[in-house]
Structure 1
Amino acid sequence: MPTISTFLGLQTALRGLLAHQRALDVTSHNITNANAAGYTRQEATLGASLPLELLPVQTQSFGGAQLGTGVEVHEYRRLRDQFLDLQARGSATAKYFADARATLLGQIEEALAEPSDNGIQAELANFFDAWAKLANNPESAAARQAVLAQAGSLAQAVRDLDARLSAIAQTAQSEFTTTTQTGGEVEQLAREIAQLNVAIARAVQLREQPNDLRDRRDLLLDRLAQLASVQVQDDPARPGSVDVLFGDAAAPLVSYDTVTWPQTLTSPGGRLGGLLAIAASGGTVDQYRAQLATFARNLADAVNALHVTPFFSYTAGNEAATLAVAVTSPAGVRTGTSGAPGANDIALAIAALRSQTAGPVDQYASFVGTIANDARNANNEAARTAAVAEAAEQRRQSVHGVSLDEEMTALVRFQRGYQASARALTTLDETLDVLINRTGRVGL
């Protein structure tokens, strides 16, 4: 038959004292980590401790009973919502993809230097102005030299723009390679996640609650989601562990303690996807360079056809990077078909290319307009995805973020509970003191 200890009340009050002290400890932990990146608010879940079972013969009604024994901490709960994590990571992936594209397209737009006095549009205008002046004075050696100088400046501007576009693509590709190579950021993040998997699974097996380790793993997963799309799957064979799928890689990046990297990524999303969209073979920069090459070829072919003898030269398939002036001296600049003094029909025809419908000027303007529209659309998309990502993160923070106002309220609540338990303990102690030390003494 279970006996009710004389000191049961002391033990009950002591449990209340200890439980509220643990709750105060958890609240203090929350407050000190309020500004820690990736920290998830924790909560000491208080609940009644196991009661003392009384037999029917121990109660007046002979119905049996349970005598409460106080309170205890059932668990240290981590306030996290997996669905909100999924939303936040998905929106972060979209945001960083859009940000990468917007940044690189902004650099491309800056490389055009349009409108300006040094852009290709200005060089085209100067080139056709030089031919118009030569048509007015076809026998002038200075005017012929001016045509050659402006042609050389125009060809150099085209080559420079092609080189700048290539450099932007190479920089983006270099960042992609550095991030994804063996020992790069992706692999470093994956290996730390694998180590955390082992530690968390071991703690779960021991019925512990590794909340801070889970926070660290979630922070790493958030960073991976910025780089590319991430899918996180619980490992049923090892509770507490997760498998991580990264981008469009063929195999899981992390499977418990195993990391499979490097792998091929073609359209991973996130920042890496944005870099690839710009820099990969056949990507945005290659398309722009192809358009620039088409402009350079059409310009050269149009001028060469009117000049009769080659005025510009280029290498087929790489026109923008190789565009050059084929004429080496002012005497080689032709002004008229007949070659007679004062003939200027060639010079007039070349100068008229400036206003030709769908001619070189229109083609280059269309090229600039395409880039400007793409950059504007990319900036708009970046703004939209940033707003969505911010809203998703705010929803997530509303659940797992630390509110100092709430924690201060909890401090007061648990402090009062602690004080009440301490008061109950003192009262019971005084009662037992009377029972033990004073009962039976005459005159009391």
Structure 2
Amino acid sequence: MSINGLFQTSRRSLRVLEGAIQTAGQNIANAGTPGYSRQRVALRADSVVAYGVHSGVRPGTFTGAGVSVQGYERLRDGLLDRAARDAHSDLGAADQEVRTGSALEGVFAVGTQGSLTESVAAFWDSWTDAANAPTDRSARGVVLDRADALAGVFRRHDEGLTRLADETRGALADGVDGFNAITERLAGLNEQIANARAAGAPDLGAEDERDQAVTELASLAPLGVAAETDGTYTITVQGMTVVQGAETTTVEHVGPPAEPDDAVRFAGTDVAFRPGAEGGGALGGWLRTLGQAVPETRAGLDALAAQITTDVNTAHAAGYGRDDVTGRDFFEPTGTTAATFARSAALTDPDHVALAGGAGDRGDASVALALADLRPGVERDAAAIAGGAGRRLQGASARADAASALTGHYEGLAAGVSGVSLDEEMTHLIEYQQAYAASARVLTTARDMFDTLLAL
């Protein structure tokens, strides 16, 4: 190698070490920045042949030409990133189902006065009290009051389910808007990153921002992410491409009143997002609440209201009131849903309540005793409806705990790869400082050699 070669080698070394020191400084400055990925300088040993200085190299000639920067890169683990995205998707779904499950459980308020189970028990207790005092007109009045209270509980629960559905539908619509906003942001970052790479200066900050946006999107829906050769991401949801380069496909919420059921569709297609049995991000959690939890609970309430209406009316219509009139319905026969469940408008007086099996028998309570046989089945069904809400919440809470643990686990592993260790960066700085001083010494030596040569 010539003395000029020593100058060139030292010059390249100093420039590379300057870049390495700047990279370490960047890492230290962003040690506490959320989403920041540790950066590294990729180095390459150069030779004079690589620079085309010689068309041929004489035997024994030293061909080393120092070092150059091959590129700047972020330290990431694609496998951990994918696992973390999946965990975030499961956590997003479970968190939303915990919220809606808590609201659903609150509708029934099991164990409190005025709850469904307590009101059913109180209604049947009133029949028992009336059977024990068939000649007491006030006991029959209590039966009517408890019937009104029970009907009010059914209607209140139905209204609570409607309110929960409306609130969840609003959250779903907001989530869809948020999904589209994030995909638009990702498309813009894709374009920015591709342009920077084409110019030979990767925008690593934009790549960090894009990964954070991908994590946000994963909490809304499960993602497939493919890195392209130009640095862009192609993102899919259940096989449908939502981001490709600078282009996006939006999603849209359809539902009542335009559609009978709530759904999320990919714009311009008839393809709908499928929430699955669990998971599916926050969108999946909201869709399951609207498509399963609320309708199934309402169907149970409606079935119980219809059952009570039919069974109590059958027994009551066969009995006689204190006015010796028979054939009266106790509940409105058309009230076969929780929203329409109500005491019959024909029962305007406590004397209309039928307890006796025959006319003129004031001490008979055979109808009340017959109604007592219905109590176990009705209470069991009421408890099952209220308990179903609790089981949904328990299941969602268990999934949320598991997903949270997995998310924390993968984020911890990812931090070991992408996070900044101040001790490690300080060690690198010391190494770079010593290497910089040594390279400067080589440059000084080359200068002294050159001065000696000129002095000959």
TM over 0.5: yes
1:273 to 260, 284, 292: 284
Say if 1:54 and 1:216 are closer, same or farther in 2 by CA, change over 3 A. closer
Measure the CA separation in 1 of the matches of 2:242 and 2:348: 59
Residue 14 in structure 1 maps to residue 16 in structure 2: no
Secondary structure, counterpart of 2:370 in structure 1 = helix
* Match of residue 167 from structure 1: 163
Say if 1:175 and 1:56 are closer, same or farther in 2 by CA, change over 3 A. closer
Deviation at 1:337, TM superposition (A): 2.5
Aligned residues: 419
* Match of residue 330 from structure 2: 311
Measure the CA separation in 1 of the matches of 2:37 and 2:149: 61
Are the aligned partners of 2:243 and 2:249 in contact in 1 as well (CA < 8 Å)? yes
1:241 to 232, 241, 255: 232
Residue 374 in structure 1 maps to residue 399 in structure 2: no
* Match of residue 36 from structure 1: 33
Measure the CA separation in 2 of the matches of 1:56 and 1:260: 54
* Match of residue 206 from structure 1: 199
Deviation at 1:279, TM superposition (A): 1.0
Deviation at 1:304, TM superposition (A): 1.2
Secondary structure, counterpart of 2:420 in structure 1 = coil
CA shift digits 1:10-52 (9 cap, x unpaired)? 3322322221121111111112222323222110122323436
Residue 107 in structure 1 maps to residue 96 in structure 2: no
Secondary structure, counterpart of 1:29 in structure 2 = helix
2:301 to 262, 280, 292: 292
The residue identity in structure 2 corresponding to 1:40 is S
Measure the CA separation in 2 of the matches of 1:328 and 1:412: 94
* Structure 1: unaligned runs, 5 residues or longer: none
Are the aligned partners of 1:55 and 1:64 in contact in 2 as well (CA < 8 Å)? no
Residue 345 in structure 1 maps to residue 377 in structure 2: no
Measure the CA separation in 2 of the matches of 1:89 and 1:277: 21
* Match of residue 420 from structure 2: 402
Deviation at 1:429, TM superposition (A): 4.2
What does residue range 416-427 of structure 1 map to in structure 2 within 5 Å?
A: 416-427=434-445
TM-score by length of 2: 0.84
Secondary structure, counterpart of 1:201 in structure 2 = helix
* Structure 2: unaligned runs, 5 residues or longer: 253-264, 266-271, 318-327
1:178 to 174, 180, 204: 174
* Match of residue 80 from structure 2: 84
What does residue range 256-271 of structure 1 map to in structure 2 within 5 Å?
A: 256-263=245-252, 264=265, 265-268=272-275, 269-271=280-282
2:215 to 204, 209, 222: 222
Deviation at 1:211, TM superposition (A): 1.9
Measure the CA separation in 2 of the matches of 1:83 and 1:21: 32
CA shift digits 1:112-156 (9 cap, x unpaired)? 111222312211222122111112222323222211111111111
Select between 49-58 and 304-313 the one with higher mean Cα deviation.
Answer: 49-58
Deviation at 1:234, TM superposition (A): 4.0
* Match of residue 243 from structure 2: 254
User: Aligned-residue CA RMSD in angstroms?
Assistant: 2.5
Measure the CA separation in 2 of the matches of 1:349 and 1:295: 18
The residue identity in structure 2 corresponding to 1:334 is A
The residue identity in structure 2 corresponding to 1:275 is W
The residue identity in structure 1 corresponding to 2:166 is Q
Secondary structure, counterpart of 1:75 in structure 2 = strand
Are the aligned partners of 1:56 and 1:65 in contact in 2 as well (CA < 8 Å)? no
Secondary structure, counterpart of 2:338 in structure 1 = helix
